[in-house]
Each structure stands twice: as structure tokens, then as C-alpha cells.
Chains A and B, each alone.
Chain A
Amino acid sequence: MTEHDILSYDVIIVGAGGAGLRAAIEAADKGARVGVICKSLLGKAHTVMAEGGMAAALANVDDRDSWRVHFADTMRGGQYLNNWRMAELHAREAPDRARELEAWGAIFDRTEDGRILQRNFGGHRYPRLAHVGDRTGLEMIRTLQDHLVHLAIDVHMECTVLELLKDGDRIAGAVAYERERGRFKVFKAPAVVLATGGIGRAFSITSNSWEYTGDGHSLAYEVGAALQDMEFVQFHPTGMVWPPSVRGILVTEGVRGDGGVLRNKDGKRFMFDDIPENYRSQTADSEEEAWRYIQGDKSARRPPELLTRDHVARCIMREVRAGRGSPHGGVFLDIAWVKEKIPNSKEYIRKKLPSMYHQFKQLANIDITETAMEVGPTTHYVMGGIRVDGDTQMSTVPGLFAAGECAAGLHGANRLGGNSLSDLLVFGRRAGEYAAAYARDNAAVNVDAAQVDLATTNALRPLDGAGDRGPAAEGPYQIQHELQEFMQELVGIVRCEDEMKSALERIAALKKKAPGVTVPGNREYNPGWHTALDLRNLLTVSEAVARAALERKESRGGHFREDYPDKDSGFAKFNIVLRKGGDGAMQVSRESIPPLPAELAQIIEEMK
């Protein structure tokens, strides 16, 4: 190990999206020496792609809103599998996190009286999303980034964590490699915050970037942390479907929040056909009422297009399967129709949805102020993740924390749009605070040379014998592609037992094959090598999704079983938890959800 310099910190943050940056800022504010490790350049993380906004009950647009309504909306959207403590903290603290961003230089769109403007979004009773057009994520990440660079925080860019290190039961640091030269870096720290985002790259149709390979989930799992709710993957109802090369790119829910409607090939607004019982009292009866809601009429109820994402995605699938879809296997999302209602509709659309306008114009040759978009479901978000304590965000491994998408709990079975950006800030801050406190209150850790050697030896394996691979043999890209295809097909939006079992068999086969993959080239900025190293993480999270989905024999939220199409109250009482067993095999268990405290139960009852 002597050839590796050891970098020592109080807190290491893995990931530099919204959660990682907010955690780093908080830990540094609390006096910790902080190192951030991120796979890409600063400011490029997946948060940058978030479009619609950040949910926070500021009550700037509708003064009936409060943290209590936001809490109830989040629990209802999550089908009550949420960690209720996280849902409570999130709803209570999100407004302060939004105001804090403004204090750091963010400029949200404004109300007429000069406050932060809020927009409508699926599953939120009142207009609640603070936003900047449809580029809210960019505003958030840039604000955090620009704030962070003036603090004493080291940022290790284009650096990928290979393994976490342990000292006894505690976390002790991480082994990473930097892409530019391909050299290893060893980090020592008593506290590590994972903020690595999601797993979308395990599927073929996804809105997620290459970074979303489930690294945090897999790293935590390997050192003994528990994962939960992995069966709940969110398929966003509106991704682009045409042309083929852009399939999966996100079309923001903001389109529907600002008046966009979904129609089938017969021109019918099919979302009125199936309104779930628990949302009936909040949903408009007619197109006329729906439009009044978009116009800000407080007596009107939400359009059915703004039902939760799981439900809208399934309705789209139903239309497509029934042969009522659009030419390229989606449905129509129409915002151009507002020209019937307002005089300056083109200006309205371009102001409200500038990047959507640009995206369709550039990539599909479609002017969305004139023509309807073709859209269909795309893998977008994983509700499941590392099991954490609601207050501190510490995982089941002492010293290991998780925040943002890679942590589980807040969203239960389905996440509401807009609750992700607020999640990042609320729990990023908490993870940073408690990680700093943990580092302060606990003794120093030691790095075990044997663990480092094992990690680096494994990492170099794909480069051994490079060039030996004949043209017919599979490279890392082929294995990744195969996994993505069958995960989409067999463990995607509609699931059944036989298909998931067959997916598990194929995952097992790839797990045997993956360690033997070789790549050409050397260690310097070699994407083939990186892809080979990502395979383990992708396979781990894929297996976790399939095993958890097999165990949950009901349909709820983002998880839909063709063989068990109904909700089963028996399954409402527990989360499905996955751990690495002593024999190395993945173990599935059910952990009951603690009962709601009376105060929170009463809020839910009142808001029904």
C-alpha cells in the first residue's frame, strides 16, 4: 500500500449532486475537514437535469398550504410505505432550504408581489414547486457549487469510488481511482456520506445519465448496509419516444402543470377514464374545471394529468397496449392546444418551458407551440435505496450515511415530482451535520492495507490480458447492454413472477461473466475500463430490484404486478429489506413499519 498516498478527512462525501454538495457545505460549516469525491466535473451531476422544481410549502401562491398538507400529500403519494419521520422532517424543513438557496444567490421565478413563485405538480394539493422555468436543477446545483467553492472543501473531480473501507464494524474510508491518469487514491475518514444518486442505467429506456449505475447502493451493500424498497422504481410517464436515439429523455411534468394534456390517437383525454379512489375528491370532473385549476382558480380541482406518476405511466401503457397510442408507441402530450384559451400562447409556452421548446426543436424537429409531443414512460428514479435513520441519515453501518436518491424512506412506493430536489437539500444538510458530529465524537479509524490491496487488484483485472479478446468475445458495453435490455423487458413497468425469475437467472449468468471482462487500452481516461468496473454495481442493484419485486406480491406505487394487480393491505405493513448474507448471497427480509405517532396520523386523517 506504500505507493498510495492516504488522504485523510473528517468527512468524505461521495457524489456532488444536490445532496452531496449540501452535505459538504453543512459538514464544513460544522467545522469538519471535508473531501468531496465525484465521478464527473463539478456542476455536471444528475441534479442539473431536474426540470420542474423543488417542493416546499412556502404558501406564496396559495396560503392554504402548510407543512401538514405537504406531509399528507407525500404520504398519500408514497402509499403509506414512507418513513414517516423523514416525510415529516422533509415537509417541515423544505421551506427553509428553499429560502437558504435564495440567500446563496439562486433566483427563482417571482410572484407578482416579488416572492418565490410556485407551480402545480402531480400529487401536490396546492401550487408548491419553487422553480426557474424548466431548469430548476441547474439553478440549484450552480448555486450550491458557487457557494461551496468559497469554502475550505477539497473536491476530487472525475474520481470514482471502488470500495468502501472498514475498521471493525465502522466505516473507515474509501478506495477510489482518478480517471485522468488512472491512479488509485486512498481516503481515510471516520464518516462517509453516500450521495451517489440512482440506478437508471440498469434499464434501457431511461432519463438518467451514465453516472446512474447504483454505485452508492452497491458500495453500501458490500460493506453490510441494508437496502430497502428496491422494488419501487419510478417510470416517469413522459419521456421522449422519437427519434429512437433520444428515447427516454425527460419531458418535464411542468408541461402538464402549465396546461399540457394527454391524448390518445383518437384525440381523447384518456386520463379522465381512470381516477383512483383516494384521489377522486381532489381531481377535476371536467376539462373545464381542469383548465380553471391551471388558471389558478382556487375552487377548481386538479386535472387528472396531474395524478401521481405511477398512475399516469400505467394509463399511458394501457392506451398503447390497447392500440390507441401514437405512431411511435407513445401517446400525445399537447401544450399547443392552449392557443384556444389564451392569446399569446406561443410566448407563454416558450417562457414557461424554454428547454422543452429547445429540446424538441433541436432533437425532434417539432415546435411544441404548434404540435403535440409524442411521449411514453421512461425509467427515472428509484424510491428504494440505503436504509437510514430518519433524523441522522446514518445507515445500518456506523459512520456510513446516505442522502438523496441513494437513500430510501422519504418517498415510500412512489415519489411526487418536486419532492426530490427538496429531499436533496433537507437530507443532504442533515447527513452533513450528523456526519460531522459523528466524526467529532468518535475515535480515529485505521486503514487496513489488505482491504486496499484487494480493491486495487480487483480493479485492475479488466486491464490484464487486454487485447486477448477476439472480436467475437463480449466487452463491457455488450454486457451492460444485455442487462439493460432484459431488465427493461422483464423487470420494467409491468412485472410477473416468471419473467422476474428468468431475469434473476440471467443476472446470475452475467455475474459469472462480468469479472472476466477485459478491455483494450491503458489506465488513462479509459471509458471501457470504467464501464467494466460499473458492471458489479449495476448487477447488484438489478438483482436487488428483481428480488424485492418478486417478494412483493401486490401492486402498489411504482411496482405493478400483472399476476397480483391489486393492492393488498397485508403488504402495507412492512418494507422489503435486502442484505448481503455471510455466504455472499442476497438475503430478503420483511421489516415492519413502526406505527405512526398520533399527531401525524391525525394529519393524514384530516387531509383525506
Chain B
Amino acid sequence: MTHATFRIWRGDSSGGALVDYETDVTEGMVVLDAVHQIQAEKANDLAVRWNCKAGKCGSCSAEVNGMPKLMCMLRIDELDMSRPVTIEPMRAFPPLRDLVTDVSWNFRVKKRIKKFTPRPPDAPDGSWRMQQSDVDRVQEFRKCIECFLCQDVCHVLRDHHKHDEFIGPRFLVHVAALEMHPLDVADRVDELKEAHGIGYCNITLCCTKVCPENITITDNAIIPLKERVVDRHYDPLTKLVRLFRGKRDKGRAEIPAEDPVLHGSSRSANPSEESR
């Protein structure tokens, strides 16, 4: 057993500060265990969101030593214990209290995405036939536990606060799961370009790096969606046809997405690595 210091952000929407707590750590402990121990022994009112403590519900997201993590899956022996371990709430969302943030925006965003719309059933009993090879890709996206760590590190949300114009990596993955679902017949490509703001993403891969489910967010979800948007809206032939019809396409002013795959040469550092 060793002694360790945890430097935890305490506060609310009006502000706060880091407070040091010392506690004992034992073999195999994860960061959430330490937070619970401190809560039980020293700070009964220390607010933290958690449920399963098994990496399955995605509730205990926080920034530990500046890295976005699920506290229940981060072992303390992976950290440098010679220095205090800093635990802060996610920065892309407004703080509510201590380690708890207001993530309600995410729930509002999901409502805006066109729901699953299946083709008519293939069999009289109302069921469908799908091959495993056809669903493998979508099953990857459906591993998402909605921890919102990808939203937290996305600079479009975190630094530029484009919450009204951009749905963020989590919901691009959600749209990808719907668009690539073998049964789905709805079309979300126009919304992707306009309401969902996919052009804002300049594929810096930050989201992919922090995903605790190892979903290849950028390569497998976002880039194929960008390609669909490009095919429909930026293909020269299609554009010519549109021009004749007099329907001018209005691209985004801030971040032009004409060449979305190559855009973003200035791959920004993972924002979580910035000093606070």
C-alpha cells in the first residue's frame, strides 16, 4: 500500500479550484476507486458521475493528468505517482459541480438526427436477412458507449464552441451507423453538410485517439461520410447540373470543405495536452 495525492477540481458553474486529497492506494486500484475513497472518507459531497465501473456505461469521463479518460478503466499504477494526480471535469461541456459536467447538449443533438428507417421486411415473419460481413462495419460504430470523450477533445467544440453548428464526432459516428446500416433507407447526406456541419471536421484524429472502445472514428465513420457529401455536392458534373437548375450550392464560409480529406494540414496537437 502506498500513499498518493489526488488534485481534484472542486467547484461549480461560477468557478472552482484544484484541491489536494491524500489517500492510500492498493494494488490494481483504478482512478475512480481513489475518487470514491476520498468521497467516503474526506469529502462526502464530492460530485462524480459513474454507474457500471466496468467501462460499459461511459459515465465517468474526466481529464486525468490532462488526458481524457474513463476513470473506471484507468489503473493508478499506469500513472506517475511521484507527483499529484490531477483530475478535472471534461472541458468541452459546462461544469455543473466538481467532476460532473452538463452533457445535455448531446442528448438534444441526437434528437435532431433522422431516425432509423428500415426497408420492408425480407421474410413473412417480419424479419430481415443480413450477412455478418455486411454488418461488421456498423457493429464497430455501435460499440459506442456515449462517454463523450471524443466530443471533449474535438477542437471544433472544445476550443471554437461550435455546438450550434457541428454535431461532433460522437454523432457523426451515429449518423455513419445509420447511413451504413444495411436496412436503412433514409438519406442524411444533405443534413450532414448543412445542419450537422461535417465540413468543420478537419480530421485531426483526436477523437479516434481517445475512444475507449477503439472505434476508428475518423477513418471508418467521418471520412466515408465526407466522401458522400463531396460526391453529392462537390462533384463537378453534379455541380454543373445544379448550376443549370439555378440552385447554387452554398458552402461553409469558415472552413471550406471542397477537399475535406486533405484539409487540415495543420494537425493541431491533442488539445488535452495543452497546459491549463
Contact = CB atoms under 8 A, between A and B. Distances in A.
Contacts of B98: 525
Given A99-B125, A362-B55, A527 B118 contact: no
A113 B142 contact: no
B27 interface: yes
A528 B98 CA distance: 13
Given A102-B127, A519-B45, A525-B47, A48 B57 contact: yes
B51 A209 contact: yes
Interface string A509-532: 000000000011110111111010
B146 A527 contact: no
A135 interface: yes
Max chain B C-beta neighbours (<10 A), residue from A42, A525, A527, A531 = A527
Given A210-B51, A527-B46, A149 B111 contact: yes
A34 to B, nearest CB: 16
Contacts of B26: 243-245
A107 B44 contact: no
Interface stretch (B28-36, B194-202, B227-235, B248-256): B28-36
Contacts of B45: 519-522, 526-529
Interface in B158-211: 178, 181, 183-184
B54 A249 contact: yes
B100 A243 contact: no
Given A110-B130, A149-B107, A245-B26, A528 B44 contact: yes
B33 to A, nearest CB: 5
Contacts, number: 167
A425 to B, nearest CB: 15
Nearest to B25: A245
B134 to A, nearest CB: 8
B73 A44 contact: no
A537 B29 CA distance: 29
Interface string A101-132: 01111010110011110000000000000001
Contacts of B242: none
Interface in A62-115: 99, 102-105, 107, 109-110, 113-115
B116 interface: yes
B39 interface: yes
Interface string A227-243: 00000000000000011
A250 interface: yes
A210 B27 contact: no
Contacts of A355: 55-56
Contacts of A341: none
Nearest to B181: A105
Interface in A441-487: 475-478, 481
Task: Name the interface size band of chain A.
Answer: 35 or more
Interface stretch (A138-146, A428-436, A563-571): A138-146
Contacts of A211: 51
Given A209-B52, A244-B28, A44 B57 contact: yes
Contacts of B51: 40, 44-46, 48, 209-211
B17 interface: no
Contact of B111 (A150, A477, A526): A150
A494 interface: no
Given A44-B57, A49-B57, A107 B29 contact: no
A114 B33 contact: no
Contacts of A133: 139
A488 interface: no
A607 interface: no
Nearest to A113: B129
A107 B58 contact: no
A41 interface: yes
A359 interface: yes
A216 B110 CA distance: 29
Nearest to A137: B56
Contact of A107 (B56, B111, B181): B181
Interface in B75-111: 75, 96-98, 100, 102-104, 107, 110-111
B117 to A, nearest CB: 9
A99 B127 contact: yes
B132 interface: yes
Contact of B115 (A150, A245, A362, A529): A150
Contacts of A477: 39-40, 44
A476 B53 CA distance: 20
Interface in A348-370: 355, 358-359, 362-364
A180 interface: yes
B4 interface: no
9 contacts: A107-B135, A114-B128, A116-B127, A149-B110, A209-B52, A242-B28, A519-B45, A527-B46, A528-B39
